Structure 1
């Protein structure tokens, strides 16, 4: 029989990494060097490093003016429609009332055109007056009023 190999004096090979317990998902593994909200190290190139590229601030996009005339435009449209219809029929006075209410709302808003709103009120009042004349003359012809 052969004898088993005698134990050698050499030590067993060591593992390169120590055995670590399995980490839970989301556990810190030591890979981060700074906090998430810590400032970054920013390297700024000076003009002497890049003499051929002068720095210029970025051009800002032009800001669009706010939308104006939404209510005053609608009020003018209702006033003109009420005035045109009041030339032909007497029942166009509701358009005049809608135009006056919309023009008053436009006068109370800061971005609306006051000139258009005032014109809307004037034309709407004129359309109500024409409609009233139509209704009065129709009532007189029908014998409702004397």
Structure 2
């Protein structure tokens, strides 16, 4: 029997480390974190800021804080009214209604906007889209596209 026919297995080399304990599955929790990533943090003690060394006098003036204006709801209502007027005459005015609906929804998501105006804009823009679709359906039937 030659060395090539010998079924014995050679000893492992020193560069391979044996697995200690049980192997872990991929993605298994390894115990590193004790709270969720969005969990609340512990609050440490806080101190008050130091008092200013110079008290403000009456002749010191400051600019008022900028006031946020509600502009999106006004734009939405204006575009919705233009879309409604245009939809009485042509069917291709529906993009105006869609833009007005998008702007009105954006206005509803802001806290400084006039909610009543934004809701009116959504209602009027929806009516303009319905009228425009009506015109387009009428034009399609007139051109015998559906029959």
Deviation digits for residues 22-80 of structure 1 (CA, Å, limit 9, x no counterpart): xxxxxxxxxxxxxxxxxx9x9xxxxxxxxxxxxx9349678477242211111111101
RMSD: 2.4
Equivalent position of 2:77 in the other structure: 76
* Largest Rg, 1 or 2: 1
What TM-score results when the alignment is normalised by the length of structure 1? 0.57
* Distance in 1 separating the partners of 2:60 and 2:134: 61
User: Where in structure 1 do 4 or more consecutive aligned residues deviate above 4 Å?
Assistant: 58-62
Q: Which runs of 5+ in 1 are unaligned?
A: 1-39, 43-55
Aligned to 2:145: 144
TM-score by length of 2: 0.56
In structure 2, distance between residues paired with 1:71 and 1:103: 7
Give distance in 2, aligned partners of 1:78 and 1:92.
11
1:124 paired residue number: 125
1:55-66 alignment runs, 5 A limit: 57-58=58-59, 63=64, 66=67
